Amino acid sequence: MATLTRVCGIVGYVGHRQALDVVLDGLRRLEYRGYDSAGVAMLDGAGGLAVERAAGALSNLEGKLAGQDGSRFTATSGMGHTRWATHGAPTDRNAHPHRDAAGKVAVVHNGIIENFAALRAELETSGVEMASETDTETAAHLVAAAYASGPTAGELTASVCAVARRLEGAFTLLVTHADEPDKIVAARRSSPLVVGVGDGENFLASDVAAFIEHTRDAVELGQDQVVTIDRGGYRVTDFDGAEVQAKPFTVDWDLSAAEKGGHDYFMLKEIEEQPEALENTLRGHFVNGGIVLDEQRMTEQDLRDIDKVFVVACGTAYHSGLLAKYAIEHWCRIPVEVELASEFRYRDPVLGRDTLVVAISQSGETADTLEAVRHARTQRARVLAICNTNGAQIPRESDAVLYTHAGPEIGVAATKTFLAQITANYLVGLALAQARGTKYSDEVAREFEELAAMPQAVRQTLSTVDQVRTLGRELADSKAVLFLGRHVGYPVALEGALKLKELAYMHAEGFAAGELKHGPIALIEDRLPVVVVMPSAKGRALLHSKMLSNIREIQARGARTVVIAEEGDEAVRPFADELIEIPAVATLLQPLVSTVPLQVLAAEIARARGYDVDKPRNLAKSVTVE
């Protein structure tokens, strides 16, 4: 059975430095993208190709390298890889880079080559013996064959183009050849790859964090494009070899943003960065009294004509989409459906020119969401992307973009990007309300002002979470935790449960509190922790009273109630075994503060159980295949 690479960290370098140092530094910053195995390939300029691989964490590879003759890895050109596999053993044998039989070609790969079985059978029929179970190795042998003979003989870029045309699926390939030691060629289709442009040196990576220490100048690659880098620069072509113009951009954050900054875990740092993430997401989006989007390729008339909205997303982004529904329907009075991106195109949704599809993806490369976008475009729907990654594929294929500008998020479990997505969703809602005239300009301005006050509310929330940390340690031995919410508190309950499942590997479920008596109440037992997200007593008095009834029901059956409520809500105090107070804010904005204690709670429970909160098992930061 093949070992198919789902997502990974890729780094390539050609320049004047010791390539091994540059590559390993880059891999350390990308290890969050995959940590089942790691490997490097270095070109020595004298016809040699030095490769080392190791299963497990990057530290295992570093240990292997430390015990070897350092002269093997003194090249100024090389590449590396950290891997995360969907199935199949993460062994030394299956780790990247993979080589051809002669040891001249090395390949690292992100994605899946969907027709690899047919290609492998073809190679084996021709006498090639495979050294691994992976789909990636087929690419190494195919490039070697193209380079050895035929119209692309002796031309690495042409050989890679020829092979890329034969591959099906989503992939990023980096290829080196011992006979062209100062060159790396890469091909991409629906999988992340960015070029870093330096002075006498150039970089390739699946994320700009890999090379931000050396340069902030970058180039985004389009779909089905090949890039060749050497010391002097880069050249981009399509898969047929025709030269194309790539789009340069400047990375607007520095190396310190990708470091832990004194925290034990990236996730803890990123939780504390949430006020800045919200400020950066809001910045520049209210100009001359109105909401503006990024890279908008839709007219105001296009927005006015929208009569239905679909929100498509996965995981945490899906929960932010549920909140978008509340805001857009309330402000714009148009129907909104929220869809799991993985289900969207398979159920044949009714779409047209007056439909807006809002695609939410932190990475901008999420495969299910990307395919949902493509399906929407084939149905002539408008697409607006909400994304945290400049130059990613989903924004490039959309009619408009709103970047969240949350900065790099290294922890696999989304925190600051979730709050930034909620904020961006609300900006989209206000933009639609503005265009459709369902809110006057002064009303839009007032809603934006309330949104602009939220970073300070989040700071206030963060200053009071020591109680939550203590509670997390107390709950670490619990078998399960339930989460209840109403109205906008329901998506928050879902997100709280997801965080606990992701980080602490506990059974956790989020429920709409009104559904409690329709089945879930059977789960209540003595001392079972139940986290309740209370609606505002002022803004949602009826829902507040109904939630109080829910708390009484579960408390009467022995549950331990952990209640998140706004400051001054004295009515709930007698029914809360643990009361966590948050700032009183507008109803639609409450998720931006009520989510924070749940993030901290999940992290503390996981830490108390001895787990790495940055690298939860079986998960990767970006899912770039379906």
The stretches of 356-413 forming alpha helices (DSSP H) are 367-378, 393-396
Q: Which of 16-30, 69-83, 126-140, 310-324 has the least mean pLDDT? A: 69-83
Q: Please, which residues have CB within 8 angstroms of residue 290's CB and are 6 or more apart in sequence?
A: 434, 441, 444
CATH code assigned to 5-257: 3.60.20.10
| Confidence check: pLDDT of 600 > 80 | yes
Strand partners, 85: 5
Evaluate whether 412 touches 209 at the Cβ level (below 8 Å).
Answer: no
Active site residues per annotation: 8, 621
Tens-digit pLDDT profile for residues 185-244: 999 997 889 999 999 999 999 888 899 999 999 998 988 999 999 999 999 999 999 999
Give, for 310, the enclosing helix (H) or strand (E): strand 308-313
pTM of this structure: 0.73
CATH architecture, domain defined by 262-452: 3-Layer(aba) Sandwich (3.40)
| pLDDT score, position 294 | 79
Domains 5-257 and 262-452 belong to one CATH topology: no
pLDDT over 90 for what percent of the chain? 71
Domain ranges of the chain: 5-257, 262-452, 462-608
CATH code assigned to 462-608: 3.40.50.10490
The stretches of 506-590 forming alpha helices (DSSP H) are 541-556
Tens-digit pLDDT profile for residues 298-327: 888 999 999 999 999 999 999 999 999 999
Structure tokens at 173: 């390939």
Question: What DSSP letter does each residue of 120-188 carry, written as one string?
Answer: HHHHHHTTPPPSSSBSHHHHHHHHHHHHHSSTTTT-HHHHHHHHHHH--EEEEEEEEETTSTT-EEEEE
The chain-wide mean pLDDT, for the chain, equals 91
Instruction: Report the pLDDT averaged over residues 246-253.
Output: 86
Structure tokens at 126: 């021709």
More confident residue, 92 or 32: 92
